[in-house]
Structure 1
Amino acid sequence: MPVLNRIAAFAEEMKGWRRHLHANPELEFDCHNTAAFIVARLREMGVDEIHEGIAKTGVVAIINGQGPGPTIGLRADMDALAIHEMTGVDYASTVPGKMHACGHDGHVTMALGAAKYLAETRNFAGRVAILFQPAEEEGGGGGVMVEEGVMDRFDIARIFGIHNAPNIPLGHFQTTPGPLMASVDTAWVTVTGKGGHGATPHDCIDPVVAVVAMVQAVQTIIPRNVYALDEAVISVTQIHAGTASNIIPEVATFCATIRSFKPEVRDLLKRRVLEIVAGHAAAFNVSAEVEYDWGYPATVNTPEEADFAAAVAAEISGEAAVNARAPREMGSEDFSYMLEARPGAYLFMGIGPGAGLHHAAYDFNDEAAPVGASFFARLVERAQPLG
């Protein structure tokens, strides 16, 4: 695959960056050391502007081209996960209970590699803004950066991002016009009855049977309320109740993750969850409270930018290595907020065989970083050519 020669020349340096980041993971918005490392590298590269403290620890680097033109945005998330690493590599996490299990260390490295190349060559018009974003895993840092005005402040015209994909061949790309990843909402339901002895249920109001009925009814929403071709998922992931075998508890709870692509389907799912919980609460003579967390919206690529990004990916990896009409996925991503604010596209890039994302044995493939950096660099040059 034609990794840009200049990027190939500093691939070992990129590996060092990535492994340093891997050994020093930070969570959510508390990416202070990660941001400091990024800023130090950007200063060495001689980028034109470095803006810190966006969404607490986010960084934006500005690189000017050789003529007037718009500003194109590139985004890399930089936070880790609360997982204890089990890779056994010599650069494994030095922080117990935290690791880069989703490859954001690789995402930062790809963006830094592109920044180094672009700052040296400047073979483009306008400007490039490289956004290093905290809190993708928890906290919606992408949304916070948008709320703090990053798109308007830096006059970003369109925005692009990559996520690594284990078990897709190294350097292969996948994307699609329109929805690529789902919205994600969470329902936390607390049901309160009247506790007592398991031998005298007639003196109690049992929240357990109410929760069981609610969970069963919630599972009918998709097949009986959602049009069959409108993909959606409701998964009940937690049920908690009771402390002993002979006690009917006072309280029982359950949690569900709720995912879809269309805003109207998203609204329908919330309405039906609330109606089912309220109806069953009345039927079982319990009280019920629903905390409905309206999470990340669907990640929706604009068609023109998705097709353009796929064409650039084909230039890097070859047409046979690019699926420009890949199936959408039910996972979620807070890059969605940036795509709500500006035209753009998100892509998956294969890193070869290995443990899956969010697994304690996951590790980013360092051979993938020059490919991603080359894609970002060529994207800028093709989007905003000189002359």
Structure 2
Amino acid sequence: MTHVTERTTVDSLQPLDDELREIRRHLHSNPELSFKEHATSDFVAERLTEWGYEVHRGLGGTGVVATMQVGTGAKRLGLRADMDALPIHETSGLPWASKHEGCMHACGHDGHMTMLLGAAKHLSITKSFSGKLTLVFQPAEETGYDSGAKAMVEEGLFDQFPCDMVFAFHNHPGAPQGQLLSREGAFMAAGDRVLLKVLGVGGHAARPHQTVDTVVVSAAIVMALQSIVSRNVAANDTAVVTVGRLRVVDALNVIPAEGEIGISVRSFDPGVRALLQQRIEKICRSTADAYDATVEIDS
């Protein structure tokens, strides 16, 4: 007997509106950082179990995977959302604002989880598909490098839960409500990080000539990095090189011997990605050398 599927529209989800709003506000109020999504993981797992999914815990530490087989179809579809928040203090003042100091769902992962939970509940009710559905709730997307996705895959995600196709998504602030955005080719960038330790010679602020000032060196490196996208990446390609961390000593009368720079790097094309790594490393080393400093690079 052929399994009959029904067309799903936005109106089909209207009965879940109040429940999903409550879920989203709960998740927003209780954010957790990367690989620490313990209460979030529990919340997600409890809902999926309640709706009839077979729930698996522990991949990637706090990851949740849920499966449901409907009909006799052989196709295997995966849907994925991320769970972690950012180390940002929320100042919105909303009733459902973060209850955790210095932690906020500022990137919208509370919304991502709510959307996937909404799809999960709708499909558990209608069972309007034939085949195997796999839902993946991934920890630690925000870490970029050594992320929860990498951990889950290395721990056998697709060996245990093979999929013919996996769909992931991300909110896009500024896009009209009710629209889905897509395009041919890569849609989400590769995210890399580069950590630098700048090594100089510390000393007293009154005797800078006896030092190799890592504040000056670090500032020069930050400014030199700004030329990579504008002068090394072709105009029809795209990339982002953002310095998100710059740390030196706090004392005003001390020239520090060390500085720290953290760089977020994003690209779509493997060739551009390789170029970015090459240029970042060369600029950092040569700029430091020009000031008689050195750098240690972890990329």
For residues 43-74 of structure 1, give each alpha carbon's deviation from its aligned partner in whole angstroms, at most 9, with x where no partner exists: 22122x21111211211111111113111001
Distance 1:77 1:232 in 2: 23
Identity score, percent: 44
Is 1:221 aligned to residue 197 of structure 2? no
Deviations 1:238-279 (A, max 9, x none): 444455555443234433332222112211221222222333
Supply the AA of the counterpart residue of 1:43.
Answer: T
Instruction: Please say if 1:75 is aligned against 2:72.
Output: no
How far 1:217 moved relative to its partner?
3.2
- For residues 188-215 of structure 1, give each alpha carbon's deviation from its aligned partner in whole angstroms, at most 9, with x where no partner exists: 3323222334554443334444334433
Within the alignment, does 1:25 sit opposite 2:36 as a pair? no
In the alignment, does 2:163 pair up with 1:161? no
Cα deviation for residue 75 of structure 1 reads 0.8
Report the counterpart of residue 126 of structure 1 in structure 2. 131
Of 282-291 and 233-242, the range deviating more from structure 2: 233-242
Call closer, same or farther: CA 1:277–1:162 in 2, change over 3 Å.
closer
1:63–1:118 CA contact under 8 A, matched in 2: no
User: Using the alignment, how far apart are the partners of 2:195 and 2:41 within structure 1?
Assistant: 34
Compute the RMSD of aligned alpha carbons: 2.5
Question: What residue ranges of structure 1 are gaps of 5+ in the alignment?
Answer: 293-387
Task: Give the alignment partner of residue 67 of structure 2, picking from 53, 62, 65.
Answer: 62
1:135 alignment counterpart? 140
Matched, 1:175 2:182: yes
2:47 partner letter: R
User: Unaligned regions of 5+ residues in structure 2, if any?
Assistant: 1-7
The answer for the alignment partner of 2:101 in structure 1 is 96
Residue 296 of structure 2 is aligned to residue 285 of structure 1? no
Deviation at 1:133, TM superposition (A): 1.5
CA distance in 2, matches of 1:282, 1:81: 35
Amino acid at match of 1:22: H
Q: Distance in 1 between matches of 2:194 and 2:23?
A: 39
In 1, distance between residues paired with 2:127 and 2:64?
A: 20
Matches within 5 A, 1:237-256: 237-241=244-248, 243=250, 247-256=254-263
TM-score normalised by L of structure 2? 0.85
Instruction: Write the deviation string for residues 69-100 of structure 1: whole angstroms up to 9, x where unpaired.
Output: 11100112122222232233323333232232
Quote the residue 2:239 is aligned against: 232
Give, in whole Å, the separation in 1 of the partners of 2:169 and 2:213.
Answer: 49
Instruction: Report the count of equivalent residues.
Output: 290
Decide whether aligned partners of structure 1 residues 220 and 75 sit closer, same or farther in structure 2, where only a CA change above 3 A counts: same
Q: Distance in 2 between matches of 1:67 and 1:149?
A: 25
> 1:75 is aligned with what amino acid?
R
Q: CA–CA distance in 1 between the matches of 2:296 and 2:111?
A: 41
Going from structure 1 to structure 2, the CA distance change for 1:11 and 1:218 (only over 3 Å counts) comes to closer
**Which structure would you say has the larger RCO, counting Cα contacts within 8 Å and 6 or more residues apart?**
1
Bigger CA drift: 126-135 or 8-17?
8-17
